[in-house]
Structure 1
Amino acid sequence: MSRALSAVDRIILVFFGLLGLLGGAWGIASWLRVEQVSRVNRRIDASVFSTVQDSPWFTAALWITMILGVILGLWWIAANLRRRGFNRLRSEASTAHGSIDISLVRVASAVGEDLSEVPGVTRVRHRVAMERSRPTITWMIRGEAITDLLELREAIERNEEDLRAALPGIDVDSVYKINLAPVAS
């Protein structure tokens, strides 16, 4: 997810959150008969709301609101569900005579297999995706509570060195997420 899309998501969430909070606070204040809210409620002419439906502009406004809502909603869903995965990156060693494409999914899988051999590691999953407009390989390492973290760290550092040696000139970020099971009591 890009920073701009993340900012738009947060703004929309804050807007609707504050709108819901305001509506809920208004309803509770009306139910508790708070003087200021009761005064505003008495000024509201409910008969105006019943005649709005008969106005000539009401149907057009309703259709425009509906169409805009559908378009913006579909755009928001499409923007958030956009595929961020990728598989191949072109090596800088590529020339006009030929190109060298490297499958990062296979490289990530090989690193995951090596990390899964560390004693105490129960599962290693990997994901190759664009994160904040950067190509990123993420490994999620699941281990038992008794996993030797120093040995795991050494394995990660060794694999990171091997990864950089295998991918010279390829700019890719690597993230290792370690999740250990809780200690049994």
Structure 2
Amino acid sequence: MKLRTLLVNRFFAFVTGCTLLAAGAFALAWLWRVPLAREQLATLDRAVVTDIPDQPWWTPALWTVAGVGLAVGIVLLVVNLSRRRPSTVQLYDAVTDATLGVELGPVAAGVARDLEALPGVRSVRGRAVVERHLPTLSVTVHAEPDIDVAEVTAAAEDSARRAAAALGGARVATQVLLHLDPAPDVH
């Protein structure tokens, strides 16, 4: 997840959480007959509070809150569902004295093909993403529950080293996620 997305999510979660905590704390204080909470509620003019829905500004205010809430919700969805695809990685080639652009998707697919050949592996998916501002080769491995995890780990590390060597030291991370099938029930 990008840092910007992470900060936006945490900001809205923090504001919502603080608002709900404050409302809950006030409700509990009223329930437990805390004098300060009781005094605050006693200062409210009940007639004014019950007449609020009849005020001419009430309907536009509700529509404004609904519109702002909808806009914020759409923005959060767009930010969270945006594609995290990296741009091409630029490599300098000393032989040709040129800068080359390398797409990371095929490199991730190559790492996935390496791991797909291991015994016990059912499926592998490789893709290029951006994780915390760093281009990343993300490979997801689905395997049987009795697979040799040490062998998969060693193969993943070897594939990551070869991918790093092929990319000429570019700042690219490799992430391998291993998902094991549930073990069969033995009766």
Shorter-normalised TM range = 0.7 to 0.9
Count of aligned pairs between the two proteins: 183
How far residue 27 of structure 1 moved from its aligned partner, in angstroms, is 5.2
Aligned residue in 1 for 2:32? 34
- Pair 1:54–1:153, CA change in 2 (3 A): closer
Q: Distance in 2 between matches of 1:72 and 1:141?
A: 36
Aligned residue in 1 for 2:48? 48
- Pair 1:68–1:146, CA change in 2 (3 A): closer
Aligned residue in 1 for 2:112? 112
> Which range is displaced more, 67-76 or 2-11?
67-76
Structure 2, gaps ≥5 residues long: none
2:156 counterpart SS class: helix
1:92 counterpart SS class: strand
Q: Distance in 2 between matches of 1:94 and 1:48?
A: 78
How far residue 134 of structure 1 moved from its aligned partner, in angstroms, is 1.0
Residues 157-185 of structure 1: CA distance to partner in whole angstroms, max 9, x if unpaired? 22122212221143211111122233333
**TM-score between the two structures when normalised by the length of structure 2:** 0.75
Does the 8 Å CA contact 2:88/2:101 hold for their aligned counterparts? yes
Q: Distance in 1 between matches of 2:39 and 2:173?
A: 59
Q: Distance in 1 between matches of 2:59 and 2:96?
A: 62
1:135 counterpart SS class: strand
Give 2:146's aligned amino acid: I
1:35 counterpart SS class: coil
Give 2:91's aligned amino acid: S
How far residue 106 of structure 1 moved from its aligned partner, in angstroms, is 1.3
How far residue 26 of structure 1 moved from its aligned partner, in angstroms, is 5.1
Q: Distance in 2 between matches of 1:108 and 1:39?
A: 64
Residues 66-93 of structure 1: CA distance to partner in whole angstroms, max 9, x if unpaired? 5544544443333323221136323222
Aligned residue in 2 for 1:11? 11
**TM-score between the two structures when normalised by the length of structure 1:** 0.76
Does the 8 Å CA contact 2:124/2:140 hold for their aligned counterparts? yes
1:100 counterpart SS class: strand
How far residue 52 of structure 1 moved from its aligned partner, in angstroms, is 3.7
Q: Distance in 2 between matches of 1:2 and 1:124?
A: 24
How far residue 111 of structure 1 moved from its aligned partner, in angstroms, is 1.4
How far residue 44 of structure 1 moved from its aligned partner, in angstroms, is 2.8
1:140 counterpart SS class: strand
> Which range is displaced more, 82-91 or 111-120?
82-91
Query: C-alpha root-mean-square deviation of aligned residues, in Å?
Result: 3.3
- Pair 1:138–1:161, CA change in 2 (3 A): same
Does the 8 Å CA contact 2:85/2:129 hold for their aligned counterparts? yes
Q: Distance in 2 between matches of 1:5 and 1:82?
A: 10
Q: Distance in 2 between matches of 1:158 and 1:59?
A: 64
Does the 8 Å CA contact 1:86/1:129 hold for their aligned counterparts? yes
Aligned residue in 1 for 2:81? 81
Q: Distance in 2 between matches of 1:96 and 1:56?
A: 74
